[in-house]
Amino acid sequence: MSEHDGRDPGPGDGADASTDPPDGDNCGCDDACEVGGASASGVPGETEPGDSAGESAGAVRAEFSVPDMDCASCASKVETSVRKLDGVGDIDPRATTGRLVVEYDPDRTTPDDIRGNVEGAGYAVEDGPSTREVSFSVPDMDCASCAGKVEHALRGASGVLSYETRPTTGTAVVTLAADADLDAVVSAIEAAGYEVTGTDADEAPDADANAAADGERESVWRSTRAVKTWVSGGFLAAGIAAEYLFGLELVVASVLGVSFTAAELLYVLGAAVGGQAILRNGYYSAKNRSLDIDFLMSTAILSAVAASLISGPTSLYFEAATLAFLFSVSELLERYSMDRTRDSLRELMDLSPDEATVLRDGVETVVPVEELVVGDVVAVKPGEKIPVDGTVVEGDSAVNQAPITGESVPVDKADGDEVFAGTVNEAGYLEVRVDSAAGDDTLSRIVSMVEDAQANKTEREQFVERFSSYYTPLMVVVAVAVAAIPPIAFGLDWVTWFVYGITMLVLACPCAFVISTPVSVVSGITSAAKNGVLIKGGTHLEAMGSVEAVAVDKTGTLTKGELTVTDVVPLNGNSEADVLRCARGLEARSEHPIGEAIVSHAEGTGVAAREVDDFESVTGKGVRADLDGVPHFAGKPGFFEELGFDLEHVHVTGPGEALSAEVRQLCDRHGCLNLVEDTIPRLQSEGKTVVVVGTEDDLEGVVAVADEVRPDARETVAKLREAGLSVVMLTGDNEGTARAIAEQVGVDDFRAGLLPEDKVAAVEGLLDEYGSVAMVGDGINDAPALATATVGVAMGAAGTDTALETADIALMADDLSKLPYLYELSHRANGVIRQNIWASLAIKAVLAVGVPFGYVSVALAVLAGDAGMTMGVTGNAMRLARIRPDE
């Protein structure tokens, strides 16, 4: 993967944007310049080495539409004003087109600052899009050197402001000026030797062309290059047979005084057929001054042929044919390996259906999904995929949400329930109201974020690219030295050492080394997405795999986030049903979550309602109301103490009823219970909230309500601790409740009584203690803490835009058990990346050392050092797809 100026400039504290225009308001034109409404569109752009912008290597480019800047004096005035900003480099005011192009350092200024200074000079920045982003499909761009040539071509294309090449998916994402010629950009890419099979713009090729391109990708072994490779291999095999099996030494052809035996002629034909694509790509590499594998292989093949023509009796045609054939095989293998990686993302894209059955005026009509609008109603029959995000308006069914949330069990859906595009209707008939247009649904956002994640280069990937920029030139120097020094300095056989030099050229290619990280990242991220975990970049994948501690918010994460009734303690001869009946009546008109939980529980147990009059909420204490004409109360224990009740001595049973074992232990008098010292503290120590229910004269019972701990919380925490992580719970609850929940789920430590800003401080403290911390929360209330942590993980993000945008990693389902899977995947991904990097380096080193001793042939260098390692690192990376949450 390769990226150019991938940072998005954001708003910040730039220089003063209120610069007054010099020499009054008139620019010197015959007509006064009018100032109107303004808006700016700044985008990252490409910068040549040595560009100014504060000499920052991260300089980017922004373009603004300034229609009133229509003369040289206007342009000079605008340039003078913008030049006052800190961090501004090259400024190109184009008076003939009314456009201003500015290169700047995003760490020191912003597009808003530039816009302000333009307006401060008396010129409006016109509203409307001045740029557009187009994705070009370039399937043959499947390695770093390919990406480099495409980048070089884009750098010189007119109208290109920024670009980002993604060899792992074979796409180039280009930001263009609004008036840029799309065909010119396509021509620039194809002039670099890479066919553009389609774009996502309106001018994209038709569906048939794209389908053909897809078919070609799926049949790499039957492609034109593959056919030429097999023909080349046939000539090479025939030449070997002619020379070694049949011993044919007859001269069968003579060209320009150079004679060719039958074997040599077959070798030349093999080199010509197999080397055609190599030499073509090598030409483009030379044209773009790119020292890549195509240039190196072209040099090696041509050198072998040239040496054979010059040397006379010494023939290196076999080496040339071997290089051409084996490197072509290597390229096919690399393409096949990269297609396997790309297929993992295509599978995500293919989850959503292309067509939908829409109900309009009572008639079912099949239309493309793109034609659906918000408010349409679509019919989804059993076995069909749901085409859009929406709400069920009719029918009920079980829906398989695994493509989005990773849930293994279908979820029941009925009227009013939310459904997602790409999920499968298992059984019943559903009618779904469209809530999001095509492209704005959850699945589309997931695919888009997974694609964008490739632009987020990891530290290892940046190291690899820096290393390879030194490795290849160094190896070329070594190859020249190996070929030249021994024959010249020591009189050794020049043919032998020339072949050794060619072999070293083969080893100069860092392709397997360069792709070792991106293929692992793509494999890990797409595998996670299929299992309901959205990782928004390789940096976050690596970071999650190296955290030392996990901070987990309590409410909604370790607990369900929904209050439920856990205990009902009847008093004074009342039954549980009696207590719930009174509690339901008192809380029926309450809007407090505790009241809603009590009412829901009472309804679920079939307790009848009571007539309620004169309802009153006593702030901070409880409620009162008349139930069937009798005054009743419900609230905190202190509320009842204020009403004059003795909570230390409460009758539990009626006359003649048997006493429970607990009562006999707790009460020293027949049928009595001490609520203050025994029952209430016991319930509160379990993390429960106590509500007392009674009349003016008698206590009727106690109801305990709690945010129930998730069934899998303890197991999840245990697995994280087994993996060597420390787990710390953060909560705004009191110390007693926090301690009870912490003991129940088994965390290492907890922090209680935290406000949102306190959670940020708690995470900062954990960072000081552990160095690397993941924070798990809901992605909304916990957003500041998530942003503070090394990695922010949001739970239940499906359908929640805020959580998807704010978190580094999103668990699409409300499923805490995915956390151990996430850590295991990330941890293994780090291991795979390290294995790929060091294995590719080690094998290159071993082969390079063996070349001067004659242990490594050209064939072995190509097969092991190039094709073998490319297949090896890709296959190793694809192992990540086999990790499952249930393992």
- For residue 852, give every residue at least 6 positions away whose Cβ sits within 8 Å of its Cβ, in sequence order, or none: 482, 500
Residue 24, Ramachandran bin (φ over 0: left; ψ between -120 and 50: alpha; else beta): left
- Mutual angle of helices 317-349 and 207-218, in 10-degree steps: 120
Apex 436 CA angle, 435 and 442, nearest 5? 115
- Mutual angle of helices 317-349 and 511-530, in 10-degree steps: 20
The catalytic residue positions are 553
Question: Within a 13 Å sphere around the CA of 837, how many CA atoms are in the beta-carbon half?
Answer: 19
Q: Which tokens go with 389?
A: 């995000």
How far is Cα 765 from Cα 700, in angstroms, rounded to an integer? 47
Residue with tokens 């929904």: 562
Task: Map residue 862 onto helix, strand or coil.
Answer: helix
Other CB atoms within 10 Å distance of the CB of residue 279: 16
Q: What share of the chain is helix, strand, coil (3-state, %, to 5)?
A: 45, 20, 35
How far is Cα 385 from Cα 399, in angstroms, rounded to an integer? 9
How far is Cα 79 from Cα 120, in angstroms, rounded to an integer? 12
How far is Cα 103 from Cα 597, in angstroms, rounded to an integer? 59
How far is Cα 385 from Cα 322, in angstroms, rounded to an integer? 50
Task: Map residue 568 onto helix, strand or coil.
Answer: strand
Question: E-assigned strands of 435-501?
Answer: none
Strands 689-695 and 699-709: antiparallel
Which helix (H) or strand (E) segment holds residue 549: the answer is strand 549-553
How far is Cα 401 from Cα 409, in angstroms, rounded to an integer? 8
- For residue 221, give every residue at least 6 positions away whose Cβ sits within 8 Å of its Cβ, in sequence order, or none: 332, 336
Could you tell me which residues are beta bridge partners of residue 63?
A: 101
What's the chain's length in residues?
887
Could you tell me which residues are beta bridge partners of residue 673?
A: 650
How far is Cα 673 from Cα 664, in angstroms, rounded to an integer? 9
Residue of 622, 669, 618 lying closest to 648 (CA atoms): 669
Exposure string of 187-217, with b = 16+ CB inside 10 Å and e = fewer, is: ebbeebbbebbbbeeeebeeeeeeeebeebb
Q: Which tokens go with 64?
A: 């603004």
Identity of residue 201: A
Could you tell me which residues are beta bridge partners of residue 419?
A: 390
**Are 69 and 91 contacting, i.e. CB atoms less than 8 angstroms apart?**
no
Q: Which tokens go with 29?
A: 């034109």
Residue of 36, 29, 22, 34 lying closest to 84 (CA atoms): 22
Task: Map residue 254 onto helix, strand or coil.
Answer: strand
Could you tell me which residues are beta bridge partners of residue 624?
A: 616, 633
Question: E-assigned strands of 347-461?
Answer: 355-360, 363-368, 377-380, 390-394, 397-400, 411-413, 418-419, 424-425, 430-434
Q: Give Cα 434 distance to the centre of its chain.
A: 26
